[in-house]
A and B are shown apart, each in its own frame.
Chain A
Amino acid sequence: MKVLLSWIREFVDVPEPAEDIGKLLSVRGLALEGLESHGDDVVMDFDVTANRPDCLSMIGIAREIATAYNRPLTVPAAPPLTIGASVAVTIEAPELCPRYAGAVADVTVGPSPQWLQDRLTACGIRSISNVVDITNYVLLELGQPMHAFDLAKLGGGAIVVRRAKSGESITTLDGKVRSLTPEMLVIADASRAQAIGGVMGGADSEVSAVTKRIVFEAAYFKPSSVRATSKALGLKTDASTRFERGMDVTAPARAMARACQLLEQIGAGKASGTIQDVYPAPQPAASLVLERARLPGLLGMDVPDANVERILRSLGFTVAPHTGGPYGDGHPSDGWTVTTPSWRVDIKRQVDLIEEVGRHHGFEHLPSTFPGVQQAPASSDPRIVRDRRVRNALLGMGFSEAITFAFVEAIAAEPFLAGDSPVALANPLSEKFAVMRPSLLPGLIDAVSHNRRHGRRDVQLFEIGTRFSPRAETRGVGFAWTGLATADHWSGARREVDFFDLKGVVEQLAAVSLVTLTFVAADVPYLVKGRSAAIAVNGSTIGVCGLLDSGVGDRRDLPSGDAVYVGELNLDALTAAAPAETLRATPLPRYPWVVRDLSMLVDDTLSAGTVRGTIRSAAPVTLSEVREFDRYQGTGIPDGKISLSFRLTFQSPERTLTDEEVQAGMQHIIDALTRDLAATQR
């Protein structure tokens, strides 16, 4: 809200410089957004919060300044108009328009005097003609939106306030044709809509150079109705902004009197002196009880009674001691009965009064205290600790943490949907943010692509975040790795990242989470078949890892030829499988272990997993670990065969194993491999 300092000073004696006024008001609830000089004057731009439509006026801002400086406020008073025959007004929709006032005036349309034009211009309103300027002047001064109709253009010379008929339309002052619906309120003449109530006037009855008689309108329109209409039409005006936040239902008569006074003052015409004011159900002033004890109870600071009363009265409340409290009549007052001024539509509860007192007493007087503790704090979301563990593990493995937008382009999400429909937004910011990510990988791929295109060769990134499907939100971790697996060093050979680097990362995440994962060949649209694995725990798939399909990469502008390994795990499922609650310590073994190496020649179609499985099932219970330590194919190995070497560790918690029993166990394993897998020992 732009206000003119000279205009404010008509209502409150505040000789302080604008900067000082702005500084004080900023800590009283009206933040100063801007300050610019306008000739000898100063325009102050205040940020008025949505709950204070009364401050969208000179008088409203002046009242706040008067209270802040503890100075009297002079309200502009025009001689009241008499109620009487003026223009016929019928309200057919009192639920949308509880009050409508009209007054007729004879006018000579022309330009406004310079001072009036200047004031409007300074406050950001274009001067149009003396009659229209008056309506805008009253809007700025008192906050009450007004309108002027050319009476000659009103069919039947009467005003009907009604809902629009279906199919009805109107050409508004901005020259646009607007289709109306019965939810919208119109100001009509005998036959058709001449204005959209509280939003904008119609072009047909617009005041023009040849207008001789006008009807001033000052009304109260229901906030929700104006808001809905303004939204439906996509039409926001100075009037609609005020009406939708709630205007002063008592203001129309005062505003009308002021408009008529100004009309004569600037020689623009002569008002009839009467007003047709239709207000069938006057609203009583609201009153509230302000309990004395509640003030320090909510604010945590004491405000002297005199200050409570001074602040409220200065803001327009009436204040009387309240005696009907818990102690009954006759006891000392326990607070105040406070009657709310009609313009303070935001005051509904006691707390609203406490805020008024608190802010004008000054939040700078608040002491710094701490809330008392009545019980031990409850524990935090367990995901925080879990995520931290996974995050630390990945950081320790060289991955940097990424945070990407949770919405992605539809085409980027598509390969990751796994048969689900995407969770799409109705009103995305742009196509780049159209759907909620079904996976963390689209965002990570874009981040890898960004880094690669900015000259970064080696990229290791991970993200922990939410994935969205029509069935659930799940927390996951995604990771991506491209470039070197080993840091460049003068001492040795470089190696590009491969499948086993990534699989190792997954295996380490399993280790830090105390779960056992299994890997089977994966078939997903975004990974290369034969270089990707589905990751399962207790038989259910909780993620994948592998080489990114080059087509998917190309579509995200990855440099062609880049090998990007990616993986993703459902952290919620991983946590569910972890034995955190039932974890028990196992004593360290007291007897030595025995290690045996075993090299077998097997068909190269056999997976190491199969061979390991056969070893495990044939082995005695004392086999505690099986580890592949060599895989060889080539010179000395027959075609179609591979040599697999395992290191087997035997150990018993109860006794020292003998050579004989370990040898017997080994023989049993070799027999099973020979029999079941046609393997031969090397």
Chain B
Amino acid sequence: MSPIDTSIGPDRARELFRAELADVRTDAELQALRMRWVGRKGSWVAAFMEALATATPEQKKAFGRGANELKNEVEAAITEREAALAATRQPANAVDITLPGRRPAFGHRHPLSLIRDEVGAIFTRLGYQVLEGPEIEDDYHNFEALNMPEEHPARDMQDTLYLAEPLRIGAGQPLTLLRTHTSAMQIRHMEQHAPPVRLVAIGPVYRKDNLDLTHTPMFHQVEGLVVGKGVTLADLKGTLAAMAEALFGTGIGIRFRPSFFPYTEPSAEVDIQCIKCKGSGCSMCKRTGWIEILGSGMVHPAVFEAVGYDPNEVTGFAFGMGVERVALLKWGAEDIRLFYENDLRFLEQFGL
């Protein structure tokens, strides 16, 4: 900081002032600057005024105006800077808003639960009721009423887990097994209700499958059933196409492949267009462009007869889909066992 020296003249002094003002960062510095330049005693402006008092008329004329201009500029600049500093100043009770917030706790939905809800919502929108049912079943509801009598080879298609001791809960047959599909629930519903029927049954089912990348001995199924006058296979196709688009995205097509299930005739396995390559063929769909997603068909007349419906009066369609399979496809997970480990690092990927 240069000592006060009026001999340099007001113009040079003004340059000095501007340089010093540029360095000011705080209120305190600004106050010091104010004292040094416009303080009543010992400031630059005071010194110029004193010098002016003893100056010759020529000198007065020469820098009298300059001194006054200096004074005005200094005062104006300081006031302006004062306002600017005030504008950036933190209020007295300010907090550091860059520190992390205190987050109220929330948990994460299980991915299978998300899919269950999503599928339930899709079918609720399509006018279906959503049902759940018992997980321990009798042979009749799980097999026989579904056109799989004792000794039927199709029973081998679903390796069944049996109870060590049959249970007697309520009326009806002794309960001997863990349901292998939610189709058992369809039978229970049709036994109690006359057609038309429009339902989806959702819940866990059990099969004696070893744990591997794509199998678990318990998994979840969504089973759909529509019964009424004039229900057709084309209705099934439209319904499943709508579901596939709702679940996997607009434009995802489906195709039917004829297949066999004892409880439907005709039967079809349903593929969706590969969600990765959109049908052009990739490793995920084994270069076929299609991925199997569910089994379906027109309810077999023997099933209607078992529940007292007249197969000449009504027709119906049914489909069964694995929730885990949908979850694996939708989120590109590669190991179904992750769904049952309940590792929070996995669950926390799925929001709420």
Q: Using a CB–CB distance below 8 Å, which chain A residues touch chain B?
A: 26-29, 31, 49-52, 223-224, 227-228, 244-245, 296-301, 349, 351-352, 354-355, 358-359, 363-364, 366-375, 377-381, 383-384, 388, 391, 394-407, 423-429, 433, 436, 447, 450-451, 454, 456, 459-462, 465-466, 468, 470-473, 487, 489-491
Task: Tell me how far the C-beta of B291 lies from the nearest C-beta in chain A, rounded to whole angstroms.
Answer: 13
Using A395-B107, A401-B110 as known contacts, say yes or no to A363 and B348 having CB atoms under 8 A apart: no
Task: Tell me how far the C-beta of B217 lies from the nearest C-beta in chain A, rounded to whole angstroms.
Answer: 5
Using A370-B239, A424-B163 as known contacts, say yes or no to A403 and B342 having CB atoms under 8 A apart: yes
What are the residues of chain A within 8 A of B339 when measuring CB–CB? Answer: 403
Chain A residue nearest to B127 in the complex (CB):
A377
Do residues B113 and A301 form an inter-chain contact, with CB atoms below 8 A? no
Q: Which of B13-21, B29-37, B130-138 contacts A (4 or more CB under 8 A)?
A: B130-138
Do residues A298 and B233 form an inter-chain contact, with CB atoms below 8 A? yes
Do residues A433 and B217 form an inter-chain contact, with CB atoms below 8 A? yes
Do residues B301 and A351 form an inter-chain contact, with CB atoms below 8 A? yes
What are the residues of chain B within 8 A of A447 when measuring CB–CB? Answer: 341-342
What are the residues of chain A within 8 A of B102 when measuring CB–CB? Answer: 487, 489, 491
Q: Is B241 located at the chain interface by the 8 A CB criterion? A: yes
A490–B99 CA distance with the chains assembled, in angstroms: 8
What are the residues of chain B within 8 A of A224 when measuring CB–CB? Answer: 151
Q: Number of B interface residues, CB 8 Å?
A: 92
Task: Tell me how far the C-beta of A27 lies from the nearest C-beta in chain B, rounded to whole angstroms.
Answer: 5
Using A368-B241, A404-B340, A451-B344 as known contacts, say yes or no to A244 and B198 having CB atoms under 8 A apart: no
User: Of A403, A424, A429, which is within 8 A of B217 by CB?
Assistant: A429
Q: List 12 extra interface pairs beyond A51-B154, A298-B266, A400-B107, CB under 8 A.
A: A27-B258, A51-B262, A298-B315, A299-B233, A363-B258, A366-B237, A379-B129, A395-B106, A402-B347, A427-B208, A456-B344, A490-B100
Chain A residue nearest to B126 in the complex (CB):
A370
Using A28-B258, A384-B130, A426-B163 as known contacts, say yes or no to A402 and B342 having CB atoms under 8 A apart: yes
Do residues B163 and A29 form an inter-chain contact, with CB atoms below 8 A? no
A400–B226 CA distance with the chains assembled, in angstroms: 35
Q: Is B25 located at the chain interface by the 8 A CB criterion? A: no
Please list 12 pairs of residues, one from A and one from B, whose beta carbons are closer than 8 Å in the complex, sorted by A's number: A50-B154, A300-B232, A351-B298, A369-B237, A369-B238, A371-B198, A380-B120, A380-B131, A398-B107, A401-B110, A402-B342, A428-B161
What are the residues of chain A within 8 A of B204 when measuring CB–CB? Answer: 406, 465-466
User: Of A363, A375, A400, which is within 8 A of B257 by CB?
Assistant: A363
Which B residues, 199 to 213, have Cβ-Cβ distances below 8 Å to chain A?
199, 204, 206, 208-211
Do residues A427 and B343 form an inter-chain contact, with CB atoms below 8 A? no
Do residues A369 and B232 form an inter-chain contact, with CB atoms below 8 A? yes
Chain B residue nearest to A373 in the complex (CB):
B127
Do residues A49 and B169 form an inter-chain contact, with CB atoms below 8 A? no
Q: Is B141 located at the chain interface by the 8 A CB criterion? A: no
Q: Is B352 located at the chain interface by the 8 A CB criterion? A: yes
User: Of B112, B164, B226, B265, which is within 8 A of A403 by CB?
Assistant: B112
Task: Tell me how far the C-beta of B28 lies from the nearest C-beta in chain A, rounded to whole angstroms.
Answer: 30
Q: Is B255 located at the chain interface by the 8 A CB criterion? A: yes
What are the residues of chain A within 8 A of B97 when measuring CB–CB? Answer: none
What are the residues of chain A within 8 A of B130 when measuring CB–CB? Answer: 380-381, 384
Using A397-B107, A425-B161, A450-B342 as known contacts, say yes or no to A384 and B120 having CB atoms under 8 A apart: yes
Using A52-B260, A379-B129, A490-B99 as known contacts, say yes or no to A406 and B113 having CB atoms under 8 A apart: no
Which among A28, A396, A426, A490 has the highest number of chain B CB atoms within 10 Å? A426
Chain B residue nearest to A458 in the complex (CB):
B344
Using A405-B217, A407-B218 as known contacts, say yes or no to A374 and B196 having CB atoms under 8 A apart: yes
Q: Is B57 located at the chain interface by the 8 A CB criterion? A: no
A355–B261 CA distance with the chains assembled, in angstroms: 12
Do residues A466 and B228 form an inter-chain contact, with CB atoms below 8 A? no
User: Of B217, B239, B317, which is within 8 A of A407 by CB?
Assistant: B217
Q: Is B157 located at the chain interface by the 8 A CB criterion? A: yes
A423–B178 CA distance with the chains assembled, in angstroms: 11
Q: Is B173 located at the chain interface by the 8 A CB criterion? A: no
User: Of B135, B233, B238, which is within 8 A of A370 by CB?
Assistant: B238
A51–B117 CA distance with the chains assembled, in angstroms: 35
Q: Is B230 located at the chain interface by the 8 A CB criterion? A: yes
Task: Tell me how far the C-beta of A45 lies from the nearest C-beta in chain B, rounded to whole angstroms.
Answer: 14
Do residues B124 and A368 form an inter-chain contact, with CB atoms below 8 A? no
Q: Is B330 located at the chain interface by the 8 A CB criterion? A: no
User: Of A28, A299, A489, which is within 8 A of B234 by CB?
Assistant: A299
A407–B163 CA distance with the chains assembled, in angstroms: 11
Q: Is B268 located at the chain interface by the 8 A CB criterion? A: yes
Do residues A403 and B113 form an inter-chain contact, with CB atoms below 8 A? yes
A655–B242 CA distance with the chains assembled, in angstroms: 60
Which among A371, A380, A400 has the highest number of chain B CB atoms within 10 Å? A371
Chain B 106-129 against A: per-residue CB contact (8 Å), 1 yes, 0 no? 111110110001001000101111
User: Of A51, A298, A371, A428, which is within 8 A of B228 by CB?
Assistant: A371
Task: Tell me how far the C-beta of B341 lies from the nearest C-beta in chain A, rounded to whole angstroms.
Answer: 6
A378–B108 CA distance with the chains assembled, in angstroms: 31
Q: Is B345 located at the chain interface by the 8 A CB criterion? A: yes
A52–B256 CA distance with the chains assembled, in angstroms: 19
Do residues B151 and A366 form an inter-chain contact, with CB atoms below 8 A? no
What are the residues of chain A within 8 A of B242 when measuring CB–CB? Answer: 370
Do residues A380 and B124 form an inter-chain contact, with CB atoms below 8 A? yes
Which B residues, 245 to 271, have Cβ-Cβ distances below 8 Å to chain A?
255-260, 262, 265-269
A368–B267 CA distance with the chains assembled, in angstroms: 16
Which among B268, B340, B342 has the highest number of chain A CB atoms within 10 Å? B342
What are the residues of chain B within 8 A of A297 when measuring CB–CB? Answer: 230, 232, 315
Q: Is B172 located at the chain interface by the 8 A CB criterion? A: no
User: Of A301, A377, A466, which is within 8 A of B198 by CB?
Assistant: A377
Task: Tell me how far the C-beta of B212 lies from the nearest C-beta in chain A, rounded to whole angstroms.
Answer: 12
Q: Is B333 located at the chain interface by the 8 A CB criterion? A: no
Do residues B162 and A425 form an inter-chain contact, with CB atoms below 8 A? yes
Do residues B113 and A368 form an inter-chain contact, with CB atoms below 8 A? no
What are the residues of chain A within 8 A of B325 when measuring CB–CB? Answer: none
Do residues A349 and B265 form an inter-chain contact, with CB atoms below 8 A? yes
A378–B192 CA distance with the chains assembled, in angstroms: 13
Do residues B110 and A403 form an inter-chain contact, with CB atoms below 8 A? yes
A396–B230 CA distance with the chains assembled, in angstroms: 46
A372–B232 CA distance with the chains assembled, in angstroms: 10
A454–B218 CA distance with the chains assembled, in angstroms: 24
Q: Is B165 located at the chain interface by the 8 A CB criterion? A: yes
User: Of B151, B199, B217, B255, which is within 8 A of A228 by CB?
Assistant: B151
Q: Is B105 located at the chain interface by the 8 A CB criterion? A: yes
Which B residues, 301 to 352, have Cβ-Cβ distances below 8 Å to chain A?
301, 315, 317, 339-345, 347-348, 352
Do residues A401 and B108 form an inter-chain contact, with CB atoms below 8 A? yes
Q: Is B103 located at the chain interface by the 8 A CB criterion? A: yes
User: Of A383, A396, A400, which is within 8 A of B347 by CB?
Assistant: A400
A27–B271 CA distance with the chains assembled, in angstroms: 11
What are the residues of chain A within 8 A of B206 when measuring CB–CB? Answer: 406-407
What are the residues of chain B within 8 A of A471 when measuring CB–CB? Answer: 169
Task: Tell me how far the C-beta of B253 lies from the nearest C-beta in chain A, rounded to whole angstroms.
Answer: 10
Do residues B258 and A29 form an inter-chain contact, with CB atoms below 8 A? yes
Task: Tell me how far the C-beta of A78 lies from the nearest C-beta in chain B, rounded to whole angstroms.
Answer: 30
Chain A residue nearest to B112 in the complex (CB):
A403
User: Of B209, B228, B266, which is within 8 A of A351 by CB?
Assistant: B266
Task: Tell me how far the C-beta of A293 lies from the nearest C-beta in chain B, rounded to whole angstroms.
Answer: 11
What are the residues of chain A within 8 A of B131 when measuring CB–CB? Answer: 380-381
